[in-house]
Structure 1
Amino acid sequence: MTTDDIIAFVDALDGVLTLRPAPGDGSPELAWGDAFFYYSPDGVVPATTQPFATIVTKDYPGDEASRLDRPDAFRVNIAVGRDEFVRLIGRAPRQDAAPGEADPGTPDTLVAHPVYGTAGWVAVVNPGRRTERTVRDLLSLAHGLARDRYERRAGAVG
């Protein structure tokens, strides 16, 4: 899977707003080249909602465990929620990593997000044959969770 494959897949889901920061758009330089996916059927960046998935193409300060400084390395990050995190990773998000959990820099391997795992996020560096189907399924799940949150909030306001 390439970043373009992932972006095309997510863009095909209903109500998705994809942000791709680039030079000249007012975004911080650190975010250039990355992608952020929101559920936003009105096409406006939500003020109080985090993306349901992201693609990062470089290490961020305090988030170097995936070693994205390697050539052509990227990581897809997916907010799957607590229950799915437990099912996938085998522990609660706030629990310490278990001995033998995969190194977050291992390509094509589903892992707890090295920084946001405590919030129910998982990640895959350079998804490939082993994780492609899982990544697509989890992106669909995260999209559905984001849509449900949006609809609950819209119902509470209206």
Structure 2
Amino acid sequence: MTEDDITQHLIDMLGGGHFVVAGDNSFFFHGTDNKLPFATLVTKDSDADSASNLNRPGVFRLDIRTGEQTFHALFGEQEQAGIDYTALDRLMPHPTETNTHWVSVINPSAKTFEAVKPLLVEARNLLASQGKGT
């Protein structure tokens, strides 16, 4: 999957939401404000988030907000130490946002993207049900 493929899928599923591109990163929102995205596409490291080594050519990370129950179903209470946050095409806890239950995958394949599509729907619905972004 390419960044453009994923972006198009997210745009298609927005239905009343919107996205913002800032600094080559894309933020996808359920509603009309820009407070809480349900997903992001990140293309570069920052001072606060460099564990994924996104500065590699052609590398991007899809980040998805999940609910606490889903996050723990995926990863249990696993320690964050020892995770290779630079691994491609592997769903993992977000390197810096596990306390808010974000997950991520770097350069997802078509198969992996199909597997995370339900997480994207859940993320959007989670914010909608909480009245976030309206």
TM-score by length of 2: 0.89
Aligned with residue 33 of structure 2, among 28, 34, 45:
45
Q: Which has the higher strand share?
A: 2
Distance 2:131 2:74 in 1: 25
By how many angstroms is 1:62 displaced?
Answer: 2.3
Greater relative contact order (CA < 8 Å, ≥ 6 in sequence): 2
Deviation at 1:104, TM superposition (A): 1.2
1:7-156 residue pairs with structure 2 within 5 A?
A: 7-13=7-13, 14-21=15-22, 32-40=23-31, 44-46=32-34, 49-91=35-77, 96-97=79-80, 102-150=83-131
Please give the alpha-carbon distance, in whole angstroms, between the structure 2 residues aligned to 1:6 and 1:84: 21
Query: What SS does structure 1 have at the residue aligned with 2:28?
Result: strand
Give the share of equivalent positions with the same residue, in percent.
Answer: 35
| Distance (whole Å) between structure 1 residues aligned to residue 71 and residue 37 of structure 2 | 17
1:66 CA displacement: 0.5
Q: Distance in 2 between matches of 1:39 and 1:150?
A: 9
What is the total number of aligned residue pairs between the two structures?
A: 133
Q: CA RMSD in A?
A: 2.0
Equivalent-residue separation in structure 2 for 1:50 and 1:88 (angstroms):
22
> TM-score scaled to structure 1, two decimals?
0.76
Greater radius of gyration (CA): 1
Q: Where do 4+ consecutive residues of structure 1 move more than 3 Å?
A: none
